[in-house]
Amino acid sequence: MSTAAVVAAGTWKLGDLEVNRVGYGAMRLTGNGMMGNSDAAPIDREAAVRLLHSAFEQGVNHVDTAAFYFSPLRSANELINRALSTWRGEVVVATKVGPGRDPSGEWLGSARPDQLRGQVEENLRQLGRDHLDVVNLRHNGPATDSIAEHFGALAELREAGLIRHLGLSNVRPHHLAEARAIAPVVCVQNVYGLEWRLSDENGLVDLCGEHGIAFVPFFAIAGRRREAAADTGSEAGTGAGELDRRVLEVARTHGATPAQVRLAWTLHRGPHVLAIPGTADPAHLAENIAAGALRLSGDELALLGGTDSPAT
């Protein structure tokens, strides 16, 4: 398979780990269990492995996951482990800790600092690794809460060799400053897209770029249609039901899907911005990856960066 689209998007370094900017988000590998629908048919294991191998063959070399990405019969980490066991190339795996779920899938809330080692070790077991490439601390508390104690616990695990690099998720600029005073931060993962611009408003996207830190949006495709995305094979499918006239206009110009336009817009935000769209559909996977080669003009970027324009 061609890797041209991924190559066209360029690379970025997570510490000493160079990755292509277009990656893959593994949440969809579990079916819809993460979206509250435990009755959804689980993805076939061999199909999941084939999907991951297809992503790797197309140039994807970093995957976003978490131990809490599981449904009654499937675990994203274990599917990734299975795929990597038969793949010869290098793939960087970034996982998250902080939130927890019990074996039945019920959310347990956020871990205490002293519980983070257990979550790290669970990721190690599921992924079949001796150390984790990147661990993001997912902050689920109030924006005013400090993350220093939690991040400090992870920094100790980094020093112990269980973790190679550290990142943050769902944070504000003051959290990044707190963390950087403790240990190096290689990435920040926040909700971000055309309609989710808080990380622009508070300066976090640019701050990450200034410090050489990757900014990794999630829900970059879905935007305000996030809930509907649970019924599709990717974050928001190929754009059926797209609600923004601006996106539809640019998509028609390029013969692209609205989802591709949304991904391309985030990648144009800066060379340090990565993409981790998720899907369980091979066709949507190819479309998401192809967005890495989509080039938007200055006028198109200005149009998309403006006020929402509802489709009628």
Q: Which residues pair with 92 in a beta bridge?
A: 62
Q: Which residues pair with 11 in a beta bridge?
A: 20
**Active site (annotated) includes residue 24:** no
Q: Which residues pair with 94 in a beta bridge?
A: 64, 134
Length reported for the chain: 312
Enumerate residues 6+ apart whose C-beta is below 8 A from 52.
24, 29, 63, 79, 80, 83, 87
CA–CA dist 287, 207 (Å, integer): 30
Q: Could you say which of 12, 56, 69, 265 is catalytic?
A: 69
Helix (H, G, I), strand (E, B) or coil at 70: strand
CA–CA dist 259, 234 (Å, integer): 9
Retrieve residue 197's tokens. 């611009």
Helix (H, G, I), strand (E, B) or coil at 17: strand
306: buried, middle or exposed (CB in 10 Å: 19+, 13-18, 0-12)? exposed
Identity (one letter) of the amino acid at 22?
A: V
Instruction: Quickly tell me which residue has 């149009």 as its tokens.
Output: 303
Distance (Å) of CA 244 to CA 21, 192, 277, 307: 26, 16, 19, 10
Cα 275 vs. chain centroid, distance in angstroms?
7
* DSSP secondary structure, 203-261, as one string: SHHHHHHHTT-EEEEESTTTGGGTGGGGGSSBSSTTSTT--BHHHHHHHHHHT--HHHH
Helices (H) and strands (E) in the chain, counts: 12, 13
Residues with a catalytic annotation lie at 69
